[in-house]
Amino acid sequence: MYRTLLCLVTAVLLSACGIDYEGSTKYIFKGQIRDRNGQPISNIEVATFVYNGNAEDIISRDRTDSNGNYQMIFPKARNVKTSLYINSPFNGNNANAEYSGMVVVGIKQASIQNYTINFGATTLFRNDDAVNLRINLISISNRSILKIRPLGLVQYSEIEYDPDFFGIVDPEDQHYDPFNRLDYVVAKNQDLVIKYLLQDNTVHEVHVPVAADDVTFNLEY
């Protein structure tokens, strides 16, 4: 009797952990993938990832067509964090090894207008057009760094959907790209911005020029 009850309770709890979908509401994510020259890239996989703290799911995926366009339509998931994975390791064997990948995080329900988000054009760079960037953290104050992100053409970069937001919602936000990651692969010949959040909740930016060789940047904070 108790065993049966325990099984039932466990089953109920497990089902409660799953993601709750609303089948009658369909969201549309779309956009275009281009290279550094503005040319569309075909056959790049894009996936929509949802996570509710207990369960996760790739609810939709698509490959860019000959014009670099992608579009995914999927049911609304309630109370989840939503991310867009573009040619990332999360896409597994479907990732195109010739090009960089990235993830757009922090996509909120409120950002979805008319059931749609158009991510516009996203630029990927060729992996043979890249160099290494190492960031050395040099403490010159008593404030520690909570979050650091190089912004620009960065391999497996994590971009906030809301460009005005730069904070930490909770530690689970860092599951893809830990804030203390300091080694990056970045595209050659660009002006990178390194954005960082200090313990006193101040956000800072510093520009890092990247040429054709590996870069080591000393970040004093």
Partner 1 sequence: MKKLLLLLVLITGIQGIAQDTIQKKINTEYFRLYYVFPNGIGNNVLAKANNGVAGIGVFITLYSINKLHFIIGYEFSQYNVTDVSLAANVKNTYTSNFYFGALYKMPLLNKVDLTTKFTIGAFTLNQKSDGTKYGKQRGPAFTPGFDIDFKITGHLRIFAGLDYCLALPTTHTASEYKSFFGTLHQLNITTGIKF
Q: Which stretch of DSSP H or E encloses residue 197?
A: strand 190-198
Among 4, 23, 93, 213, binds partner 1 (CB under 8 A): 23
Tell which one of 35, 56, 57, 160 touches partner 1 (CB under 8 A).
Answer: 57
Check binding of 44 to partner 1 (CB under 8 A).
no
Q: Which stretch binds partner 1 (CB under 8 A): 98-106, 108-116, 119-127, 154-162?
A: 108-116
Spatial contact of 197 and 147, defined as CB atoms under 8 Å apart: yes
- Identified binder of partner 1 from the candidate list 6, 42, 115, 175, rule CB under 8 A: 115
How far from 16 is each of 20, 42, 54, CA to CA, in Å? 8, 39, 9
Number of residues this chain uses to bind partner 1 (CB under 8 A): 28
Residue choice 18, 167, 178, 209 for contact with partner 1 (CB under 8 A): 18
- 209, with CB counted inside 10 A (0-12, 13-18, 19+), is exposed
Q: Of 4, 24, 37, 216, which one interacts with partner 1 (CB under 8 A)?
A: 24
Query: What is the separation of C-alpha 167 from the centre of its chain, rounded to a whole number of angstroms?
Result: 14
Contacts to partner 1 by CB under 8 A = 18-19, 21-28, 47, 57-63, 70-76, 114-116
